[in-house]
Structure formats: C-alpha cells, structure tokens
Amino acid sequence: MKINLANIKKAKNLLNKSECVAIPTETVYGIAGNAYSDSACKKIFKLKKRPTNNPLIIHYYNLKKLKGDCDLNGDFLKLYKRFCPGPITFILNQKKTSKISKIATNKKSTLAVRFPKHPVVRSLLKYLRFPIAAPSANISSRVSAVTSSDVKDDFGKKIKYILEGGRSSVGVESTIIDLRKKPKILRLGGLEVKVIQKILKKKISIKINPSNISAPGQLRIHYSPGIPIRLNAKEIKKDEALLLIKKSKINKPNYYFLSKKGNLKEATKNLYTILRKIKKDNYKSIAVGKIPNKGFGKTINDRLMRASKF
Ligand code: TXA
Ligand code: MG
C-alpha cells in the first residue's frame, strides 16, 4: 500500500495535541491517542463509551521504543522475533520508569503491548515520540471496524480524523498472550495458538473466560451487531438471516456466506463485515450454522458466542 505522507502528518499533528484519530491496523481499526497523555487516554474512553476499568492496548513501533516502559523476558523475545510486527498482543510487567498514562492501564502494573504490521500505522508510529493507546474503533460491546467507513458509521463527526488504510487484512483482533509467568492465552485472535506453541515449545494454557467473571450471566456481551444471534441453528425464523461458513447451493437473499469454500482464514476476514451488512439489510436476528471448531474457526466461534449474549 502506498503511504500518503500528508495524511500521516495530519494524524501526527492531532496526536501531538492529545487528540484522538482512527488508525488502520491489519487486525481491525483502532481509536488512537498518545499513550503518555492522560487527557488523550480519557478522550478514548469517552469516545468509545468504554468502562474505565477495561485497560487499553499500547502500540509500539519496535522493541527499542518499548524498553523504557516494560520488563522483557525470553518468551517475549522469541515471539517478538518470529511474529512482530503482527497480530499478537503481549501482557508484560511495567517498569517503575514507565511513562504510560495510568488512565490507559486503569493503574494496573501490567501492560498490553502490540506491534501492528499495517504499513500506514507503522509509518505513523515511526514518526511519533510516544506509543499509541488504541482500542478497537467501535462503540464498546459492538462489532469492531475493519474499514474507514465502518468507523464513520460508528463515530460520525465525533472522531476528528480517520487515517485511511483500506480493509484490514486479518479482520479480527490480535491474539492476547500473558507472558509474565507461564504463557496464557487471554483472547483468541488473528494469530493461531498452534503457531505460537511451535515457537515457545512449552505448554500454553487458554484462559479466555477469566475466572473473576464467576457466572455465565456476567460474561460481558461483546462483538454484537446489535441484533440477536443464535448459534448452531437448525431452522430459520421469520425476518432472520442465515449465516453459513461456506456458499450453499441455495441462493436466497437472506443467506450470507463467510467464505466461498469454507476457508477459515477467509471467513475470519469477512466475519465483522458480514455481521454489519446483515444489520444494515434490516434483518431482526441471525441464525448461524455450525462452524468447524478448529484453527481460526475457534476465533470465529468465540466472537459469535460472545455476540450471542445479546
Ligand atoms: O487487534 C487488536 O488488538 C486491536 C487493534 C486496534 O490493535 N485492539 C483491540 O483493543 O482489540 P481492545 O481495547 O478492543 O481490546 C483490548 C483487550 C481488552 O479485552 C482488555 O481488557 C485487554 O485487551 N487488556 C488490555 N490491557 C490489559 C492488561 N494489562 N492485562 C490483561 N488484559 C488487558
Ligand atoms: Mg474491542
């Protein structure tokens, strides 16, 4: 993708003034602000209507820029070398000297760190004197944005500037791994657990439903298109759309397909766009056919399961 330096400069100038801008990443678009600035981080929470106790991911250009803020360890360095920049977020301990805003982390001693791969955001990060805090660019609890027009749909004029970067190539959020002690996956995402496993060569536990959420009812609704979703549906109700993993022979207007032939990576990339499209097409609910629970299918099922708590 060709980098438009005038656009980068515009985003940079706004960020320097502690304003928020939307940024493209390879996973999903983000709402970015200066991670060292309390006022910028406050604006992010307000724009997204995000509960202040849900900390933000901090995006860096490279390792060199991270060193002042976090303690690094062997597992982190192995994964950084293999996958960064890329769709993975690391939970690390912050250093006493860390300059990250306490607003961004909700005063946590840990930090979620990511090195996005998208060339536009890399070009921006390269020119900044600070890392950027950026949650996904959607209203809290709703489907993430994978194009600039998705961001416009959600925020309208409230967002000062959207840095154009085309459609996000991965289409779901980064995989989050806690590396402070034994590796622990906290969110399934754009990088498969089995490839992480191959590099670390040790057991990785999966804790995607944190134990502090004690009852299923407390599981926060997330990734919702704003209408009910039924999983593993066997029949379709009136005014309902049907979402299938691959194209079926039946061609009805209310049939939607995540991929042509069932490719799970392609399906992941299309997931949020199709959920948004079904809502725009005015269906009142979504019936989802069975999706294979392997590889990226696990990420898709995780998002749809959370979205079904509507
Ligand atoms: O792909 C992505 O990760 C996108 C793009 C924009 O980079 N960002 C993203 O951010 O998905 P957000 O804020 O929507 O999700 C961040 C998740 C939240 O579930 C939050 O609770 C968790 O990261 N998180 C942030 N800091 C944490 C920490 N110190 N410990 C554990 N979890 C943390
Ligand atoms: Mg999000």
Look at residue 212 and tell me whether its pLDDT is greater than 60. no
Task: Give the closest residue to 58 by CA, choosing from 103, 1, 104.
Answer: 104
Cα angle, residue 41 at apex, residues 103 and 49 outer, rounded to 5°:
95
Mean pLDDT is lowest, of 28-32, 53-57, 90-94, 247-251, for 247-251
Pocket test for ligand 1, best of 47, 57, 136 (most atoms within 8 A of CB): 57
**Which residues have a Cβ under 8 Å from the Cβ of 215 and sit 6 or more positions away?**
none
Using 50, 70 and 90 to split pLDDT, how confident is the model at 210?
low
Atom of ligand 1 nearest to the CA of 138: 14
Using 50, 70 and 90 to split pLDDT, how confident is the model at 23?
very high
* Mean pLDDT on 52-81: 96
Look at residue 219 and tell me whether its pLDDT is greater than 70. no
The pair of structure tokens assigned to 66 is 């991270």
Report pLDDT for 148.
98
The DSSP line for 106-159 is: TT-SEEEEE----HHHHHHHHH-SS-EE--BSS-TTBPPP-SHHHHHHHHGGGS
Report pLDDT for 222.
86
Distance (angstroms) between ligand 2 centre and the Cα of 238 equals 31
Look at residue 81 and tell me whether its pLDDT is greater than 60. yes
Look at residue 111 and tell me whether its pLDDT is greater than 60. yes
The pair of structure tokens assigned to 114 is 């990511």
Report pLDDT for 215.
46
Task: Give the closest residue to 272 by CA, choosing from 292, 258, 283.
Answer: 258
Is 108's C-beta closer than 6 angstroms to any atom of ligand 1? Answer: yes
DSSP class of residue 70 equals: B
**Which residues have a Cβ under 8 Å from the Cβ of 15 and sit 6 or more positions away?**
21, 32, 33, 34, 40, 124, 128, 130, 132
Q: Torsion over CA of 39, 40, 45 and 48, rounded to 10 degrees?
A: 140
Cis peptide bond upstream of 24, omega within 30: no
For 248-258, b/e burial (b = at least 16 CB within 10 A) is eeeeeeeebbb
What are the domain boundaries of the chain?
5-206, 229-307
Report pLDDT for 198.
97
* Mean pLDDT on 48-62: 95
Fold of 5-206: DHBP synthase (3.90.870)
